[in-house]
Amino acid sequence: MPLANYRGRKVVVLGLARSGAAAAKLFHQAGSVVTANDRKERDACPEASELEALGISVVCGGHPDDLVTPDTALLVKNPGIPYSAAPIRQAETLGVEVVTEVEVAGQLSPAPIVGITGSNGKTTTTTWTGELLTAAGLSPIVAGNIGRPLVDAAQEIGPEGWLVAELSSFQLKGTTDFHPRIACLLNLAETHLDYHGTMEDYVASKAKLFANLSDGDTAIFNADDAVCAEIGQASAGRHWPFSLTKRLAVGVSVEPPFPAEADGESSVTQFAERWIVARDGSGADTRIIAVDKLGIPGRHNCANALAAVAIALAAGAEASTLREPLERFNGVEHRLEYVGTFREARYYNDSKATNPTATIMSVSSLPAPLVLIAGGTRQGLRLSRADPAFPRSP
């Protein structure tokens, strides 16, 4: 979908906020006739005035019946807007292509793209990857679901850098030709079923990250997750798995491996004398770092480190540059973030653990005794899946 194809044609941007405003500006600059729409009232759309000053039509306060018409060439949607929304249903009826800004950014970026997705650990892995690539002198820009609009980053980055993109299932569902140079799938767990309706649709959306890989690309995937492994192995390109529990002939793994089943004790105490090791298939082992030297705790964060190392090596980083940023990195806000100590109790903010699997992983990373304060929306999930991690007193 080259932008030039939409010069002089009607493009509807559904949903403002940062990514919608960025997409509206981009198509306006490309000569499209842009209408930006948000169901929020005008006073809740701070981007509206700036867009109108540029000559972009902005409609707030609802979705007009005539927003999408037969002459609409493209609808760019905010990832969070469900496909059941009336303008999207209307676009599909009229045969209008519906995409997210990820599709647009993929066409725009002069730099190769790293796409990172998964149910848990995306932000940590994406941020860590950015640190590793920076240390290796590979000039990354980190963007996407992590907060910065991908189209903005795609316009800023040069061909010598790497665009490192955290990608949600919402964003990937709205792609068709998006083509990363490196695609990484961290894990898959039941989540966001209120949006996707079924686990099958959720998994299919994640798998779109691998759909357009070619022989010169790299597929990085979790060999400990059967569905991730199936998706990765079925893709084109070089296969570069990572594993906590298997010694891999090609890929990045922990050695000696962790036990296949984790419990709280193994997650906290069994890091000693384990290493992150990379193998390229030539028979040579490259020791990257001792697991107990990683800057953030937890078996799940060790898995995130494996993925970040695999990405960095696939992007061309020298193994010798990786140890220092792996050791220095202290995590990101709201993800097992140490807050402080009060009356000998340590407090952690893990408010981004928004599904049972994420909560179990976080709890297993910390020593007992532990008090969990939890809440939030169900997202259509079976919260009982977390019961084994929280045994009840008789």
Question: Which pTM does this prediction carry?
Answer: 0.84
146 in Cβ contact with 137 (< 8 Å): no
Q: Any idea what DSSP says for residue 222?
A: B
Whether the pLDDT of residue 379 is over 70: the answer is no
Residue pair 136/317 in contact by the 8 Å Cβ criterion? yes
Largest alpha-carbon pair distance within the chain? 70
* pLDDT greater at residue 388 or residue 191: 191
CA distances from 159 to 109, 113, 140, 178 (A): 8, 10, 11, 17
| Mean confidence (pLDDT) of the chain | 90
How remote is the C-alpha of 260 from its chain's centroid? 25
Q: 365 pLDDT exceeds 80?
A: no
Cα–Cα separations (whole angstroms), residue 220 to 64, 181, 241, 290, 358:
43, 11, 5, 21, 21
Determine the Cα–Cα distance for residues 202 and 181; give it in Å rounded to an integer.
23
pLDDT of residue 394: 44
d(CA 162, CA 322): 16
pLDDT, one tens digit per residue, over 85-132 is: 999 999 999 999 999 999 999 999 999 999 999 999 999 999 999 999
Which pLDDT does position 264 carry in this prediction?
45
Quickly state the pLDDT bin for 217 (edges 50, 70, 90). Answer: very high
pLDDT beyond 50 at 320: yes
Q: Is 27 helix (H, G, I), strand (E, B) or coil?
A: helix
CA atoms 208, 211, 216, 219: torsion sign: positive
* The CA-based dihedral angle spanning residues 36, 163, 294, 136, taken in that order and rounded to the nearest 10 degrees: -150
What is the pLDDT, as a whole number, of residue 266?
A: 44
Lowest model confidence (mean pLDDT) among 160-169, 173-182, 348-357: 348-357
Please name the residue ranges forming H helices in 5-108: 17-29, 48-53, 86-94, 101-108
Q: What is the mean pLDDT of residues 362-387?
A: 64
CA distance 19 to 148: 8
Buried b (16+ CB within 10 A) or exposed e, 284-294: eeeebbbbeeb
Give CA–CA dist 309/390, Å, rounded.
Answer: 32
At residue 234, does pLDDT exceed 70?
Answer: yes
> What is the average pLDDT across 206-222?
98
Residue 339's pLDDT is 74
Q: Which domains does the chain have, with CATH numbers?
A: 3-99 (3.40.50.720), 103-328 (3.40.1190.10), 337-389 (no CATH)
pLDDT tens across 237-296, in order? 999 999 999 999 999 999 999 988 655 444 555 788 899 999 998 888 999 999 999 999
Cα separation of the two ends of the chain: 61
Side-chain half-sphere exposure of 330, counting CA atoms within 13 A: 5
| DSSP reduced 3-state for 231 | helix
For range 332-340, the mean pLDDT: 68
Output the pLDDT for position 28: 97
What is the per-residue pLDDT for 364?
A: 61
Are 255 and 274 within 8 A, CB to CB? Answer: yes
DSSP state, residue 345 = E
- Residue 135, helix vs strand vs coil: helix
Record the tokens describing residue 231, joined without a space: 């998706």
DSSP H/E element including 144: strand 140-144
The string of pLDDT tens digits covering residues 42-76 is 999 999 999 999 999 999 999 999 999 999 999 99
Which H or E element spans position 13?
A: strand 10-14
Question: What number is the average pLDDT over the span 322-339?
Answer: 82
Compute how many other C-beta atoms are within 10 angstroms of the C-beta atom of residue 344.
5
CA–CA distance, 353 with 95 (Å, rounded to integer)? 38
**pLDDT at residue 331 greater than cutoff 90:** no
* Predicted local distance difference test score (pLDDT) of residue 350: 75
| 148-152 CB contacts, 8 Å cutoff, 24+ apart | 148/18, 149/18, 149/19, 149/21, 149/22, 149/23, 149/101, 150/19, 150/101, 150/102, 150/104, 150/105, 151/19, 151/22, 151/23, 151/26, 151/101, 151/104, 151/105, 151/108, 152/22
131-135, 203-207, 294-298: segment of lowest average pLDDT: 294-298
Q: Collect all residues with Cβ–Cβ distance below 8 Å to 116 and sequence separation of at least 6.
A: 122, 125, 126, 129, 164, 165, 166, 167, 184, 186, 307, 311
Which of these ranges, 190-199, 204-213, 239-248, has the smallest mean pLDDT? 190-199
pLDDT at 347: 79
Averaged pLDDT, 228-235: 98
Contact in structure between 183 and 125 (CB atoms under 8 Å)? no
Task: Taking residues 167-189, report their average pLDDT.
Answer: 97
Using a pLDDT cut of 90, give the percent of the chain over it: 74
So what's the pLDDT on residue 380? 57
Quote the CA–CA distance of 350 and 292 in Å, as a whole number.
21
- What CA–CA distance (Å, rounded) separates 287 from 326? 13
